[in-house]
Structure 1
Amino acid sequence: MQAISYDAYRSTPALVEVDEPVCADDGVVIEVRATGVCRSDWHAWQGHDPVALPQIPGHEFAGVVVAVGSDVTSCTIGDRVTVPFVCGCGRCAWCLAGDGQICPDQEQPGFTMPGSFAQLVAIPAADFNVVHLPDDIDFVAAASLGCRFATAYRAITVHGRVQSGDWVAVHGCGGVGLSAVMIAAALGARVIAVDRSHAALARARELGAEVTLDADDDPAGRIRAVTGDGAAVSLDAVGSPPAAVASIWSLRPRGRHVQIGLLLGDDADVALPMGRIIANELEIYGSHGMAARDYAGMLHLVASGALRPDRLVGEVIGLADAGAALAAMSAPSPGHGVTVVELPSRNGAEGTAHP
């Protein structure tokens, strides 16, 4: 099959021919029909989040089941599906409690296993990890759900506990930040978007941000001025020490900070204003995706039209261009939204059950 692969960090990923994946007894093979180009993949490609080399990147995707393992009961050939970027083992205490996103034996396409910048991808523990798509959600829109959108949804609804009328600050308006803006606004929150890019801020306003602020112009102070006492919820959606600290300083007493953006390498250990956290009884959360069992509520809102992930898609490209698109993330974000790779069907997406 065709896939995008890199064999050295920062070497432009190339289109190559590789062996098709093998279907495990408890797994499925999915024909990838669309896959997002995500900054998390860029971090791995940069070596910030080390992976085995060579590596096929890609972890947010949607497609059609073309092979089913003998132990799988929930999937059949031809099912339209997506998968969380964290695939739990389905057996440990965390998975049994429904928290596959923190499974200690997790697999992640594009990081611990070959990813979705390929015509086919194998997924383990399919009965636990595979999410069936409603017919009215297309593959390109669904491809934006598996990492950025699902992570933002859980950050806003579970950790942030956002209510109508709450002030919500979103620091960083890339894919996950714009997702958070849309979701918070759809829930009736008053959203403040923070970024250095004027184009990204304009896009945030289109998606529901009431106020937009320059990240280099004391965003925390301006947020407190706009809101009176600070935001109820603030997110670092870019992953940088200044954004994390600004997010915490943006909060009202008993507010909630959610760390979505990855802090890796030299940025992994951030000095946070613990005096303010203690004095104002702030809550600090990390948000690492969303388990498959929690997709139903999000998909219902997407299918109803209350949430429109398709509006986040800025560019649709072919597989051959995916490597260059990943490498282009080294430059500042152009603010046009999420780039999605769309792949044509192979042989009508036909497949056979695994013996």
Structure 2
Amino acid sequence: MRFSQLVGARTSEVVTADDPVPHDDQVLVEVLACGVCTSDIGPWLTHDPAGPPVRLGHEMVGRVVATGGDATRWRPGDVVTGLGGDGLATHAVMDAQAILPVPPGIDPALAIGEPVADLEEALSRTGIAPGARVAVVGLGFMGLGLVQLARRHAPGLLIGVDPDPARRRRALALGADLAFAPDELPEEYRTGSSRATDARPDIVLEATGVTGGLKTAGSMVRPFGTLCVVGYHHTGDAMMDMDLWYKAVTVVNGFCPDRTRLIAAMRETLDLIAERRFSYAPLVTHRFGLDDVDEAFRLMEEAGPDFVKGVVVF
């Protein structure tokens, strides 16, 4: 097998080793695609070259090539996705209880189960219902995914917020009714003149991962509404606006530590992909080979107007 490993800040190398051997409760897959995730950019930016190499990649789709003794559900040739690790490699092992079959006929790069399952699981805890006023703050990969997932619940109004005009255009193309830059957000979506005419969203989905975005999201949610923090706040202090307390806002932690819930959400979202009700096609803007992992992270860090999501394909 060949795999990419971090050997220093912003520096990866591809090395060769024997294929891993699956344990009884694992399968060995030939990796077909692995998404490059924001949660991995911290190690990529800061890895100490004096430390041991680090392997990244957990958004996998693979073809089963061998199974452990207890992984009897799976057969060589099955194409699967799920929860895993060390996916920036030609081969990887995955937990047989944490994978699901990829719908037939779907490009592996467009069938990565883990990220969309994270979004759906978070959304499921917001109480979103038809007719609700919904805002998505942050229209990168996660935010644009949330726009698609929220749209299927028939919201009365779906607002996107992002400073990048290219991202706002993408949100409108994916079903948002309105899209604004944070500093151009109409006052009616920040303050309510009266409870009877309050136009602020019932549900605000924060997908920026930065404190400024969290502040914008908190300012938008109406009294007794719901703020769902989906963004990956991996650095700094994410300070909560105490106005949320005075507005009696319900704050939902969008992170889910439970694999059972994530696999259930993944099963639902893979059905949506099979039915063409959710699509990665407008989100996966860049594809890379295994030797180009550092370029994939560099473009993700730059977050230019043409970049939404990078996937390493094999």
User: In which range does the TM-score fall when normalised by the shorter chain?
Assistant: 0.7 to 0.9
Secondary structure of 1:261's match?
A: coil
Question: Match for residue 14 of structure 1?
Answer: 13
Question: Match for residue 98 of structure 2?
Answer: 129
- Percent identity over the alignment is 28
Amino acid at match of 2:151: A
Equivalences for residues 65-80 of structure 1 within 5 A: 65-80=64-79
For residues 155-192 of structure 1, the C-alpha deviation after alignment (integer angstroms, 9 at most, x for no partner) is 22x12222222222111111111100111122222321
| Mapped pair 1:203 → 2:173 | no
Secondary structure of 2:111's match?
A: helix
Long gaps (5+) in structure 2: none
Whole-Å Cα distance in 2 between the matches of residues 44 and 313 of structure 1? 22
2:121 to 136, 149, 154: 154
| Count of aligned pairs between the two proteins | 302
Equivalences for residues 280-299 of structure 1 within 5 A: 280-288=247-255, 291-299=262-270
Amino acid at match of 2:70: D
2:109 to 140, 143, 149: 140
Q: Are the equivalent residues in 2 in contact too, given 1:313–1:339 (CA < 8 A)?
A: yes
Secondary structure of 1:285's match?
A: strand
Question: Match for residue 100 of structure 1?
Answer: none
Q: How big is the shift at 1:325?
A: 0.9
Q: Are the equivalent residues in 1 in contact too, given 2:300–2:310 (CA < 8 A)?
A: no
Question: Match for residue 183 of structure 1?
Answer: 149
Q: Are the equivalent residues in 2 in contact too, given 1:191–1:209 (CA < 8 A)?
A: yes
Secondary structure of 1:83's match?
A: strand
Q: How big is the shift at 1:264?
A: 2.3
| Mapped pair 1:46 → 2:51 | no
Q: Are the equivalent residues in 2 in contact too, given 1:60–1:84 (CA < 8 A)?
A: yes
After TM superposition, the score normalised by the length of structure 1 is 0.78
For residues 180-219 of structure 1, the C-alpha deviation after alignment (integer angstroms, 9 at most, x for no partner) is 011112222232111121111111111111111113x064
1:301 to 272, 286, 308: 272
Secondary structure of 2:281's match?
A: helix
Whole-Å Cα distance in 2 between the matches of residues 220 and 240 of structure 1? 22
Q: 1:309 to 1:41 in 2, by over 3 A?
A: same
Whole-Å Cα distance in 2 between the matches of residues 270 and 154 of structure 1? 22
Amino acid at match of 1:296: R
Whole-Å Cα distance in 2 between the matches of residues 177 and 333 of structure 1? 16
| Mapped pair 1:242 → 2:212 | yes
Secondary structure of 1:188's match?
A: coil
Q: How big is the shift at 1:220?
A: 8.1
Q: 1:155 to 1:138 in 2, by over 3 A?
A: same
Q: Are the equivalent residues in 1 in contact too, given 2:188–2:199 (CA < 8 A)?
A: no
Q: Are the equivalent residues in 2 in contact too, given 1:32–1:63 (CA < 8 A)?
A: yes
Q: Are the equivalent residues in 2 in contact too, given 1:29–1:120 (CA < 8 A)?
A: yes
Equivalences for residues 209-288 of structure 1 within 5 A: 209-215=176-182, 217=183, 219=185, 221=187, 223-224=189-190, 228-265=198-235, 267=236, 269-274=237-242, 276-288=243-255
1:194 to 157, 161, 172: 161
Secondary structure of 1:13's match?
A: strand
Q: How big is the shift at 1:69?
A: 0.8
Q: 1:139 to 1:206 in 2, by over 3 A?
A: same
Higher relative contact order (CA 8 A, sep 6+): 1
| Cα RMSD after superposing both structures | 2.3
Amino acid at match of 1:7: V
Q: Are the equivalent residues in 2 in contact too, given 1:41–1:57 (CA < 8 A)?
A: yes
Secondary structure of 1:254's match?
A: coil
Whole-Å Cα distance in 2 between the matches of residues 161 and 53 of structure 1? 44
| Mapped pair 1:326 → 2:297 | yes
Q: Are the equivalent residues in 2 in contact too, given 1:35–1:340 (CA < 8 A)?
A: yes
Q: Are the equivalent residues in 2 in contact too, given 1:237–1:259 (CA < 8 A)?
A: yes
Q: How big is the shift at 1:61?
A: 1.6
| Mapped pair 1:28 → 2:27 | yes
After TM superposition, the score normalised by the length of structure 2 is 0.88
Q: How big is the shift at 1:142?
A: 0.7
